[in-house]
A and B are shown apart, each in its own frame.
Chain A
Amino acid sequence: MTAQSVRRVLVLAVSALLPVTAHAASFDWQKYKGQTIEVLVDNNPIGQIIAKNADAFEKLTGITLKVDIFTEQQMRQRLVTVLDANSDQIDVYMTLPSREGEQFSKAGWYTDLTPMTSDAGPSYNFKGLSPALLKAATIDGKLTSIPMNIEGPVLYYRQDILKKCDVAVPATMADLEVAAQKIKACDPSITPFVSRGLRDALPYTYSVFFHNMGGQYIVNGKSGLCSPQGLKALKLYGELLKNYGPLGVVNYSFYQISSLYRDGRAAMAFESSNELSDMMQGGTRLGDTGIALLPPGPGGSHPTTIGWGLAMSPYSTHKGAAWYLIQWATSPEIQAQNEVAGIAAPRAAIAKDPAVQAWLAAEPVRTQWQHAISALATSGNSDVGYPIVDNPESRQYIGDAVDNVILGSQTPADACSAADGSLNTLIAKDGG
């Protein structure tokens, strides 16, 4: 390369960097100094990160941050009460787009964040956020929230038990039942397979079976729960838990599943990727656990991928300061901290962060977990229940159908048909 060429390259490089450095220098974190904002968060590890780091945010911005922290249901109740009264009391809140996205959007309770994304700090990198989650958070063309984490159900399995029982890691959905059957015969003291059975909680895990089997919740404006693929999924999920799940599985959600697995009483647990730290608590399961996505079915591999998001109230009177909180809480720096606490970041680049790399390398199971998360980010589906305004109610009908099969009170066809009637009414109410 000639000296002239080198100069040209240097000039080009400097000119390319100029806007960035100029922007970095011009970005003023103290722009809203003196203002006070209130954030409503769920008392889960994702929300707790905001509460724990509130001081750091206040120091960086000079904004006073009031953190209201509640359990999920109570948080939602408080939020609805405040927003329904058009109150400006809450500026920023945590939201699950897959659950209440359509419902809150129809109520007009989201501020469109699209225009604000250009007013971000130099390291923010909005485009680095998971495209799948950004798509799920975009409703009627409006960006309703910014993803805080990425999660989805993954298969935790005991490598030692599978080896002892001469069972290969299931490669297809059909293999799951075969594996469970072999484990039951080999060691009757172990629960071969566990997943969610609690009515309102199970659509999160059931949806992966449904989609992998080739099902679609809405087909031509009608419920697809009872399609041939849907019936196969219902039969497989219901019978796996009925025949190979723990007694009382219809009351099982993440808490019971994590306890059972951590306690060494389950060979395979299909539960949220968020449960990694709970399942590995105490370290007993670190050495014998493997993690994978649910194996593909006839419809392919469509893992459920969701994430909590941070949204802004339309009634906030401090929208500028509120946006500063959102961009700070969803920044690569905070999300890298979350990752090493077992909260997967909705940014692919975080996995390359040196601190994250070191954390992943410390235990092989963490690397498998990270691979599963990467797959969730690329091939995930955010439909947990029906993508309609009444999504929470649709989950209840799916849950009823599955529980009827688990308890053996109805055949899959009858259970499904009963649910379909109610689901079609909901879809019609939503405008098809």
Chain B
Amino acid sequence: MQLSASSRHRGALALLSMPAVLFTAMMVVFPILYTIWLSFRTAPLGHATQFVGLANYSQLAHAPQFWNSIKVSLTLYVISLALQLTGGTYLAVLLFQAKRMPAILRSVLISPFMVPPVVVGMMFLVILDPSLGAANWVLSLFGIGPSAWLASPEWVIPTVALIDTWQWMPFVALIVLGGLQSLPPSVYEAAKIDGAPSRLVFWRITLPLLLPTLATAAILRTVDLLRFFDIIYVTTQGGPLNASDTLNIYGFHIGFELFQFGYASALAMTLTAMVFGVVLALNRLRKAVDW
């Protein structure tokens, strides 16, 4: 039997793509499958793993620290996302209307998210140090008393959210700016002919048309925010008193400081499921608001 030219072509393509497929399988699929497998086992150091069924999942369901970390993760997510979407949209509108040096303004704006999060963490650790930092010194110039910032259980989450917003709001602004530039001019011309005031144009035209763009920005930030790790690891390590102990920080602590790999794998799978769930929901929302 002779193969047709197209079959031979498909076969060749499959053969050529095989190394990439195998590499992806090894680097992505294997760790995920291994983590799932490990989440059903206990892994004492230096000894063989043992199957424990759903015991690790049951343990986390009964652990107050786990529920605290879910609460911390979601609170941080909601505050940060709200700040970044509203601030980013505002910034994008300003940039869209900027007549002077728009290229320079954009370059300056994107600089925060070019900085590695670890450097951002170290920078704010110094600025916000309650005794030696610049933030309290500035407050003192206005007669305002010092704040504990990252060392206060009440203020740590808003402070971390502000640091993350400082870094990532420009990213959201750039996405929204792209959305603004792609909006159809005809709609604005019609509004202008009807004499619609600019505030009404923003709320009734611009914002509804921007919803798909905002949903895309929200999806991108959701993945990062629910897995929040680096800045907290550098600044508070989950403290004080677990007040900034996100699910990712908690999982890291259990896995790489206490070396309870089975339980840590169950936490990692829970976090993955949570991220997937929220992203899927946002994706549906994005489709619903598409125009």
Binding site for B on A (CB under 8 A): 73, 76-77, 80, 83-84, 103-104, 106-109, 191, 198-200, 246-251, 256, 259-260, 263, 265, 390, 392-393, 400, 403-404, 407, 409
Contacts and interface: CB of A to CB of B under 8 A. Distances in A.
Q: Chain B's interface: helix, strand, loop or mixed, by majority?
A: loop
B112 interface: no
Interface stretch (B99-107, B214-222, B255-263, B268-276): B255-263
A108 B47 CA distance: 9
Contact of A392 (B47, B150, B241, B258): B258
B45 A246 contact: no
Interface of B: 44-47, 129-132, 146, 148-153, 235-237, 239-242, 256-259
Contact of A403 (B45, B235, B240): B240
A251 B46 contact: no
A251 B258 contact: no
B151 A400 contact: no
A248 B235 CA distance: 12
Given A106-B45, A247-B131, A403-B241, 20 more contacts: A73-B256, A76-B256, A84-B46, A103-B45, A104-B45, A104-B46, A107-B47, A108-B46, A109-B46, A198-B239, A199-B241, A247-B146, A248-B148, A248-B152, A250-B239, A250-B241, A260-B132, A263-B132, A392-B258, A400-B242
A106 B45 CA distance: 8
B44 A248 contact: no
Contacts of B151: 247-251
A81 to B, nearest CB: 10
A84 B45 contact: yes
Contact of A247 (B130, B240, B258): B130
A198 B152 CA distance: 12
Contacts of A403: 239-241
Contacts of B150: 248, 251
16 contacts: A80-B259, A83-B46, A84-B45, A107-B47, A108-B46, A109-B45, A199-B240, A246-B130, A246-B131, A247-B146, A247-B151, A248-B152, A260-B131, A390-B258, A404-B241, A407-B241
A265 B150 CA distance: 20
Contacts of A393: 258
A84 to B, nearest CB: 6
A392 B237 contact: no
Contacts of A259: 132
Contacts of B146: 247
5 nearest interchain CB pairs? Answer: A107-B46, A248-B151, A248-B130, A107-B45, A247-B130
A265 B136 CA distance: 15
Q: Classify the interface of chain A: helix, strand, loop or mixed.
A: helix
A407 B257 CA distance: 25
Contacts of B45: 80, 83-84, 103-104, 106-107, 109
A263 B131 CA distance: 11
A409 B44 CA distance: 35
B257 A73 contact: yes
A191 B131 contact: yes
A198 B235 CA distance: 11
Q: Which residue, A77, A199, A247, A259, has most C-beta atoms of chain B within 10 A?
A: A247
Nearest to A103: B45
Nearest to A263: B132
A390 B259 CA distance: 10
Contact of B148 (A76, A198, A247): A247
A390 B148 CA distance: 32
Contact of A248 (B129, B241, B257): B129
A104 B45 CA distance: 8
A409 B242 CA distance: 13
B256 A77 contact: yes
A80 B256 CA distance: 9
Contacts of B148: 247-248
B254 to A, nearest CB: 9
A77 B253 CA distance: 11
A390 B149 CA distance: 32
A263 B241 CA distance: 28
Given A80-B259, A103-B45, A251 B239 contact: yes
A108 B44 CA distance: 11
Contacts of A250: 151, 239-241
A248 B131 contact: yes
Contacts of B240: 199, 250-251, 403, 407
Contacts of B259: 80, 103
Contacts of B239: 198-199, 250-251, 403
A430 B205 CA distance: 66
Contacts of A200: 237, 257
A80 B258 CA distance: 11
A340 B180 CA distance: 65
A249 B259 CA distance: 28
Contacts of B236: 251
A407 to B, nearest CB: 7
A248 B155 CA distance: 11
B131 A265 contact: yes
Given A198-B237, A251-B239, A392-B258, A107 B131 contact: no
With a 10 A CB-CB cut-off, give which of B150, B151, B242 has the most chain A CB atoms.
Answer: B151
Nearest to A249: B151
A96 to B, nearest CB: 13
Nearest to B241: A403
A103 B47 CA distance: 12
Most buried by A among B129, B150, B239, B240: B240
A109 B237 CA distance: 28
A5 B240 CA distance: 74
Contacts of A249: 151
B153 to A, nearest CB: 7
A291 B49 CA distance: 49
Contacts of B153: 407, 409
Contacts of B47: 107
B263 to A, nearest CB: 12
A381 to B, nearest CB: 24
B150, B258, B259 — most chain A CB neighbours (10 Å): B259
B46 to A, nearest CB: 3
Nearest to A194: B131
A106 B153 CA distance: 37
Contacts of B46: 83-84, 104, 106-109
Nearest to B242: A400
